[in-house]
């Protein structure tokens, strides 16, 4: 059993998904303020190509003029999560846990650690060793190997009164060419990868979502 309601939003425009999680976030905050138990929710989705940049991000990490983004059909948003610039698009599981961390007696740092651990366990199903990199939130492969370190999952979270929104972006069958338009998460010397690239073939996306959802029910139990 899990202590959250799961929503698979399918492929959805970034702005519409942001609206859905914002409504859930505000409802959870309001319930908490009134001493009621609100609904924790986990949203999974794919986005149309979009770049988002967190509140501490730098526009200089966007490597092409914004006008060219429009020509290429890529949206661009400044948002209120932590972290720098990242890409979302088809073939990527973008996850938005709208959780009251008090449900599991977690602090924010513990929560991010648990998110990373969930992704690490997911990758282990495929025989891939996901790891952490000190000072760089997310999940990496070969983080300690110069010129080989590559990120497979970005994490950026907003928290208010221990209620969270935003979350993670896990590359499954993601078109990695889009990452050449940015310094991913602000890094100039590290690469990005996907499950498809690591496994050498396209992966079953629905199966990947089901496996990840199952892990969330284990890592954030009732």
pLDDT, tens digit (0-9, with 9 covering 90-100), for 47-103: 999 998 887 777 787 888 888 888 888 888 888 777 778 899 999 999 999 999 999
Q: What's the structural domain count of the chain?
A: 1
Residue 81 is labelled as binding a ligand = yes
Q: In 10 A of CB 107, how many CB atoms?
A: 12
Domain hosting residue 202, numbered range: 2-217
CATH code of the domain covering residue 194: 3.30.930.10
As a whole number, mean pLDDT of residues 120-128 equals 98
Residue 134 is labelled as binding a ligand = no
Residue 87 is labelled as binding a ligand = yes
Residue 98 lies in a domain: yes
Per-residue pLDDT at 195: 98
φ/ψ of 173, rounded to 5, equals -115, 35
N-terminal to C-terminal alpha carbon distance within the chain: 6
Per-residue pLDDT at 208: 98
pLDDT at 186 over 60: no
Predicted confidence band at 1 (pLDDT cuts at 50, 70, 90)? very low
* pTM to 2 decimal places: 0.93
Residue 222 lies in a domain: no
pLDDT, tens digit (0-9, with 9 covering 90-100), for 36-46: 989 999 999 99
8 A C-beta contact, residue 114 and residue 220 = yes
As annotated, the active-site residues are 185
Residue 72 lies in a domain: yes
The whole-chain average pLDDT of the chain stands at 91
pLDDT at 212 over 60: yes
């Amino acid at each position: 059993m899990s202590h959250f309601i799961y929503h698979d939003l399918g492929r959805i425009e970034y702005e519409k998904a942001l609206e859905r999680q914002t409504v859930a976030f505000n409802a959870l905050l309001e319930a908490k303020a009134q001493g009621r138990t609100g609904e924790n929710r986990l949203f999974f989705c794919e986005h149309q190509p979009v770049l988002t940049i967190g509140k501490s991000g730098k526009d200089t990490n966007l490597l092409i003029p914004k006008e060219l983004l429009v020509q290429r059909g890529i949206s661009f948003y400044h948002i209120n999560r932590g972290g720098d610039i990242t890409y979302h698009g088809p073939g990527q599981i973008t996850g938005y846990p709208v959780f009251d961390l008090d449900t599991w007696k977690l602090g924010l740092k513990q929560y991010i650690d648990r998110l990373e651990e969930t992704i690490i366990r997911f990758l282990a199903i495929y025989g891939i060793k996901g790891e952490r990199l000190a000072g760089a939130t997310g999940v990496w492969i070969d983080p300690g190997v110069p010129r080989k370190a590559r990120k497979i999952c970005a994490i950026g979270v907003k928290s208010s009164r221990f209620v969270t929104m935003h979350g993670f972006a896990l590359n499954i069958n993601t078109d990695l060419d889009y990452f050449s338009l940015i310094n991913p998460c602000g890094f100039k010397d590290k690469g990005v990868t996907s499950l498809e690239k690591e496994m050498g073939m396209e992966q079953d996306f629905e199966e990947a979502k089901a496996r990840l959802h199952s892990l969330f029910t284990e890592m954030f139990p009732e």
